[in-house]
Amino acid sequence: MKIVMLGAPGAGKGTQAKRIAEKFNIPHVSTGDIFRANIKNGTALGKEAKEYMDQGKLVPDELTVRILLDRVAQEDCKNGYVLDGFPRTIPQAEVLDSELAKLGTGVDYAINVEVPDDDIIGRMSGRRACLKCGATYHLSFLPSKKEGICDNCGSELVLRDDDKPETVKKRLDVYHEQTQPLIDFYNNKGVLKEVDGTVAPDDVFKAIEEILK
């Protein structure tokens, strides 16, 4: 069972990817994690990726796919995996598709966690983070016991730049331009499934379970 998670930043696709991985006993494959692991372990692919990153350049799609394929070729992925954070663009999806086809396989499900932009801006601007211990809170869904103070270490909670409404709006604009077309791409392949991401996380997961049964 090979699954691609789709959805705007803040839609909750990462949370659902982890739950799918646990429930179905398949790895949660995040491209960010793979890059970090390859760089930390000094692999040939990691060194190649680091050269681009050190220059402030994006890692080319072809190299990203090679690193990804290296990861999904490992023993723990033989029964499938959940891809989180890749592909982000049509060219990435096309490269991934052609490489998987060479292995006689392909994506079984592309699950889109659908949340309107206004909901995402509201969600993310309500996040608060402790820069000291890394704990995260939400003004509506997971408030700290004392407003503005971390429960764990007593430090001040802040709204990160990434979560400010104007930043979130820019990230959503990029998403709609680059990543939204993937919905049509996977729909045309007959593997797209959509779930309502505005409901409680448990209900989102129940809908995903129904799809994957």
Positions annotated as catalytic residues are 13, 88, 127, 160, 171
Q: Quick count: other Cβ atoms within 10 Å of Cβ 78?
A: 10
Which among 73, 76, 74, 83 is positioned nearest to 28, based on CA atoms? 83
Which among 149, 163, 120, 160 is positioned nearest to 10, based on CA atoms? 120
Cα dihedral 175, 40, 27, 80, rounded to 10, equals 80
Cα dihedral 109, 205, 134, 142, rounded to 10, equals 150
Q: Which residue has the tokens 């779930």?
A: 195
CA-to-CA distance for 208 and 192, rounded, in angstroms? 12
